Amino acid sequence: MSFNFVSTAISLMFASGLAFGLGACGLADFSGRYPTKGDVKPHPGVASAQRYPVHGIDVSRWQNDIDWQAVKAAGTRFVFIKATEGGDHIDPRFLANWAGARAAGIPVGAYHFVYWCRPAHEQAQWFVQHIPRDSDALPPVLDLEWNGHSRTCPQKVPREVALEKARLMLRELEAHTGKIPIIYTDITFHRDVLEGEREFDRYPFWLRSVAAVPEERYAGRRWAFWQYTTTGRVPGVRGDVDRNAFYGTDQEFSGWLRGEFDLGSRTWTRAAPAAVRPAPAAATALPETPPEE
């Protein structure tokens, strides 16, 4: 987003008396959907994230105490909360964040950060041992990245080893929760391990891409959630917070929450609501309109 555009937009807002306001210490979204949310370092390559109607956040201990009622009032539709790492670490804010978000009425899901030096079975058991068995919780998330900041674990393992660990953990998480897990990953891990692996197509992907749309960074990979900034601003959270967009419509998001819409295949598993069904074909075909460039 250019400085000239922002300056012009702000001037117009004040001149017309519109009460959009700016997010604390950051620039507001000008989509009209989230006037109280913002980003302190907006990147023009991800501006298109604002056209998606459903947005949420992900949090961990680093966000400290959170006012979940304010987060909810800002229009946050979902939250993913860090639960565990490896086979012996629990995020100290996990249970408080989980309880607070649920009490505010925000759909919540937990994620596990994989350590490549721990056996996959141990990690899966550690994760499921510590996440609440809430039937209405979002599916569990497996965070697949290289351990670049670990002093005790190897940063990388051979590709086939990483794939086998991921397979086992995904199977165990699905067996435990009865829900198809979500895969979170970044550009480097996807390129090194997951790119071209069609066996994972049934899983919804949550992709990190903070400088360009996911389609430019992840070859041939459909996404369900897009982490488009790590410098977001949301009322109720002090400082930076990751912001995420859901790829589809309000109806598809609601259908997914009800178990009627499959994110991996992007298809309705039950009859789609009338509002999202294709309109009947007209009796007389109209001239085809060329697509916009």
Q: Which CATH number fits domain 53-259: 3.20.20.80, 1.10.3720.10, 3.40.50.300, 2.60.40.420?
A: 3.20.20.80
Residues 150-208: tens digit of each pLDDT: 677 767 999 999 999 999 999 999 999 999 999 999 999 999 999 999 999 999 999 99
Q: Where are the domains of the chain?
A: 53-259
Question: What's the rounded mean pLDDT across residues 37-41?
Answer: 86
DSSP state at residue 29: P
Residues 96-129: tens digit of each pLDDT: 999 999 999 999 999 999 999 999 999 999 999 9
The pLDDT of residue 6: 37
Residues 259-288: tens digit of each pLDDT: 999 999 999 988 665 555 443 333 333 333
- Cα separation, 77 vs 175, in Å, equals 26
- Cα separation, 266 vs 202, in Å, equals 10
Is 214 within 8 Å of 223 (Cβ atoms)? yes
Mean pLDDT of the chain: 84
The pLDDT of residue 111: 98
Residue 14 above 90 pLDDT?
A: no
Residue 49 above 90 pLDDT?
A: yes
Q: In the chain, pLDDT over 90 holds for what percent of residues?
A: 73
Question: What's the rounded mean pLDDT across residues 80-96?
Answer: 97
Residue 292 above 60 pLDDT?
A: no
Q: Report the run of H or E that residue 83 belongs to, with start and end.
A: strand 79-85
Could you give the angle at the alpha carbon of 21 between the alpha carbons of 20 and 25, nearest 5°? 145
* Confidence band, pLDDT 50/70/90 cuts, at residue 293: very low
More confident residue, 18 or 84: 84
- Cα separation, 101 vs 97, in Å, equals 6
pTM attached to this predicted model: 0.82
- Cα separation, 137 vs 135, in Å, equals 6
* Confidence band, pLDDT 50/70/90 cuts, at residue 40: confident
Question: What's the rounded mean pLDDT across residues 76-92?
Answer: 97
The pLDDT of residue 216: 97
Catalytic residues: 58, 145
Q: Give counts: helices (H), strands (E), the chain.
A: 8, 13
- Cα separation, 164 vs 175, in Å, equals 17
The pLDDT of residue 53: 96
